A and B are shown apart, each in its own frame.
Chain A
Amino acid sequence: MFRALRSRALTAMIILAPAALAGCTDASTGSGSGSGSGEITVAGTYPIESLDPHGPQGGGTGTQLAARELFSRLVRPKADGTLEGDLATAWKPDATATQWTFTLREGVKFSDGKAVTGADVAASFKRLIDNKGTNAANFPGYTMTATSDSEVVLKATKPDAAVPGKLATFYVVPASVATTDAAFFQKPVGSGPFTVEKFTPSQTLTLVPNKNYYAGAPKVTRVTIRKMPELAARLTALRTGEADVVWGIPDDQLGQMQSDSKLTVETVPSTAVFTMWFNSSTPALREAAVRRALWQAVDFQTIVKQLYPQTGGLADAPVSPITLGYVAQQPVTYDPNAAKAALTAAGFDFSKKLRLQFANAEFRQFNQAVVSDLAKIGVQVDLLEKEQAVFTKDLLALNWDINFQQLSNPTFDAANTLGRLYPCAAKRNGYCNPQLDQLLSAAGSSPDQAERVKLYGQASQIIWQDAVGMFPMAVKYAYAWNKRLEGFTPDPNGLPDFSTAQVRGS
């Protein structure tokens, strides 16, 4: 096999040698990569198609990555999940957590030199709501008013203790920007650390420091975020010096990156959890005893250890440890005999096939292993790898029996996952439990943070024990970056900030 590969490579080399020599260049310097002094090139997985954080794609990974470089937020999460002020220096709720007052930082300017005022913040919030994107759904009927140039007040329609966390995806643009303004977002004005030098949607975003940034202009001279959809090309670009930063590196490639002396490799705990909902409206999965038994039949510990030795860990809650509301639950022990006995006792029909859907090829092996373990006790599962468009449509239509997703949480608050996805009204997985609804509602509205964690812990216990889904793995993101880059901090949501990075010697 190896010999065959080698001979094919040799053949290709012989054929290509003249062409290669004709176009010969030093790849590490000829690419316009981060090798230029003070410049960083990022090889991105996802396309940045729009820079409008309030538009329909505002919740998308590409837009969020760009938005945090270009715009400021009232608050932003730190790497450990706690919040810090960005435009806001202080915030406080009223006694019922229905009204939140934010004091704005003084002297903040947009990249065009104009001051950022309360009116800009309130207008941006209205724009977010009017555009009806996914992030707007976090604020149903909420309004924001500017009480002065340095203060805004957000009024919620119901007590909402998660407002600060939810605002981690709310970005401020000048008040003059219309609800739809494609031209503005081709080269937007913001108060973030960078401004746009050039933007080619879905291809390349080139950023330069915003000299008016309130925390001081970034030290790098240019950041180029380039879409490279192919993993091999991304990793090769990193190793040749054409790219400086890559993340989302799978375990089977990490060894090579770690053995490269030019690279720094780090894995960081993320907010993401592998989540495998059962469709509780499927007759075969209506009973909690059946769902629990299915969970018990899969040896997740072994699967995670084998497939994700560095980027995974057995999950012990429906949310990750760095999320507000995380409370560890009792691990589910792998016991196929007990699982089979429980299924038989519950009258489970082994002749009927369950449908397990997932969307991304990178999760194929994991789901195959799950199907294989279930088959060992006689449970038949059709593994359905779907295109993203089909997957999403079927997900929302509950057209599945088991659904695999990697659920992350940009707000670092369980309100965004437990509170949003598990109430009866959400209709996300066919599960409905009035007691759970009550707990989630109370947790979402209590201004007391310790009380919220306690309530989310109780809610997690119900979700865990009723096996609304299986929660096999807490995800870590693997980052690799060129050692010439200093001050770079990996982000738990895969959305790193380059404002603190600098190139050694530049």
Chain B
Amino acid sequence: MIRVIVKRLLVGVLVMWGAASLIFLIVRVAPGDPATILLGPDADPAQIAELTTRLGLDQPKLTQYVHFLADVARFDFGESYRLGRPAMSEVLTRLPATAELMLTSTAIAVVFGVTLGLLAGARPGRMVDRVVSASTIALQSFPTFWVGIMLILVFALWLGVLPSADAGTPAHLVLPAVTLALPFTATVARLTRTSVAETMREPYIQTARSKGLTEPQVLLGHALRNSLIPVVTIVGLHMGGLMGGAVIVENVFAWPGLGSLIVDAVAGRDYEVVQAATFLIAGIVMLFNLVADLLYSRLDPRIKLDTVS
């Protein structure tokens, strides 16, 4: 197993190099440049040229790329053009808030998604199944942005039980976390439902029943573990998507995380922050995928980590 992990980490280095190179290219290909944005529409061409030189952006792209890679190797992502502080330290400052949001959302999605999926998959075609299926389709259909606004209106304005924005207390976390979790909950529920429904048709389930086990015992003791394998995979793979959702949710709820930092950095063409944040996110997603694969083989001993890789 250690050998496989080391191999995966080595491949990961290549993936990180690819991600860093790609984002370096993308931010520079995008129209608009940091100097123009920083100075605003009132600037004259001479001022823009002067600031471009000061930021080192007048150098050939290849030179910039070589410097960038050398800096990345030292984990130095330069200084934010807008904030005047080291880009990676700014990203790391914001990371805990996003991590808190994502982990809470994931927990909500897994707990509610698996529960709903189990209830629906245990008896396919029954009323519970139909309600869960319809609800999950609806949850996946609503745009996150719209859901966020609706929740603010209902729980902050009409009911007055939760704050509408900002961070700092558990109450502040509820609305953004739930907004982010809802579509993910639906995904987990649908996947669990399908998986449980399939598992319940397996011969060993019939055997368990014939041994006189109650239906909850069969469901929780025998069906659940095997049904969770695809769920674990989707949770691992979904981290990237969740990060995308966090960008929107953090803006709606003024949540001081990485998502809002990235939005501002992209709009302001703050190359250094975009590069640092993307690099870090790529690393986190890669790590989650590795953990998911490890769990995968742990949940089902028949699956070897080598084949997962």
Contacts and interface: CB of A to CB of B under 8 A. Distances in A.
Interface in A386-425: 387-390, 392-393, 395-396, 405, 420
A19 B150 CA distance: 15
Contacts of B173: 23
A253 to B, nearest CB: 13
A68 B252 CA distance: 28
A60 interface: yes
Contacts of B142: 8
A392 B163 contact: no
B82 A49 contact: yes
Interface string B251-288: 11110100011001001110000000000000000000
B42 interface: yes
A95 interface: no
Contacts of A28: 160
A188 B153 CA distance: 38
A182 to B, nearest CB: 4
Interface in B34-71: 35-45, 47-48, 50-51
A389 B267 contact: yes
A242 B155 CA distance: 14
B167 to A, nearest CB: 9
Given A200-B256, A202-B261, A59 B40 contact: yes
A227 B164 contact: no
A239 interface: yes
Contact of A27 (B32, B43, B162, B254): B162
Contacts of A204: 256
A12 B147 contact: yes
Contact of B154 (A12, A32, A228): A12
Given A20-B155, A392-B37, A132 B47 contact: yes
A20 B159 contact: yes
Given A27-B156, A137-B47, A389-B269, A50 B174 contact: no
B110 interface: no
B212 interface: no
Nearest to A241: B160
Contacts of B160: 26-28, 240
Contacts of A134: 39-40, 42-43, 47
Contacts of B150: 8-9, 12
B148 to A, nearest CB: 8
Nearest to B153: A236
Interface residues of B, number: 68
Contact of B32 (A25, A60, A389): A389
A30 B169 contact: yes
A227 B50 contact: no
B165 A228 contact: yes
A203 interface: yes
Interface in A204-231: 204, 226-230
Contacts of B126: none
Interface of B, helix, strand, loop or mixed by DSSP: helix
B108 A19 contact: yes
A392 B154 contact: no
B149 interface: yes
Interface residues of A, number: 66
Contact of B170 (A23, A43, A200): A23
Contacts of B1: none
A206 to B, nearest CB: 13
B256 A242 contact: no
A119 to B, nearest CB: 26
Interface in A233-271: 233-234, 236-237, 239-240, 242
Contacts of B82: 49-50, 57, 201-202
Given A49-B83, A228-B165, A11 B156 contact: no
A7 B36 CA distance: 47
Interface in A1-23: 8-9, 11-13, 15-16, 19-23
A203 B254 CA distance: 8
Interface string B98-134: 0000000000100000000000000000000000000
Given A26-B160, A27-B160, A204-B256, A226 B135 contact: no
A31 interface: yes
Nearest to A232: B149
A50 B153 contact: no
Contact of B41 (A47, A226, A395): A395
B45 to A, nearest CB: 7
B235 interface: no
Nearest to B181: A19
Contacts of B37: 388-389, 392
B254 A233 contact: yes
A36 interface: no
A55 B38 CA distance: 9
B32 A393 contact: yes
B40 A27 contact: no
Contacts of B135: 11, 15
Contacts of A137: 42-44, 47
A56 interface: yes
B260 A27 contact: no
Nearest to A61: B40
A24 interface: yes
Contacts of A388: 32, 37, 267
Nearest to A24: B161
Contacts of A392: 32, 36-37, 40-41
B301 interface: no
B155 A16 contact: yes
B51 A47 contact: no
B149 A393 contact: no
Nearest to B48: A396
A42 to B, nearest CB: 12
Given A20-B155, A23-B162, A132 B50 contact: yes
Interface of B: 30-33, 35-45, 47-48, 50-51, 81-85, 90, 108, 135, 138, 142, 147, 149-157, 159-166, 168-174, 177-178, 182, 251-254, 256, 260-261, 264, 267-269
Given A25-B162, A242-B156, 8 more contacts: A20-B162, A31-B166, A50-B83, A56-B51, A132-B47, A201-B83, A239-B157, A242-B165
Interface of A: 8-9, 11-13, 15-16, 19-28, 30-32, 43, 47, 49-50, 52, 55-57, 59-60, 132-134, 136-137, 180, 182, 185, 200-204, 226-230, 232-234, 236-237, 239-240, 242, 387-390, 392-393, 395-396, 405, 420
11 contacts: A9-B150, A12-B147, A137-B42, A229-B251, A236-B156, A236-B165, A237-B163, A240-B163, A242-B156, A387-B267, A392-B37
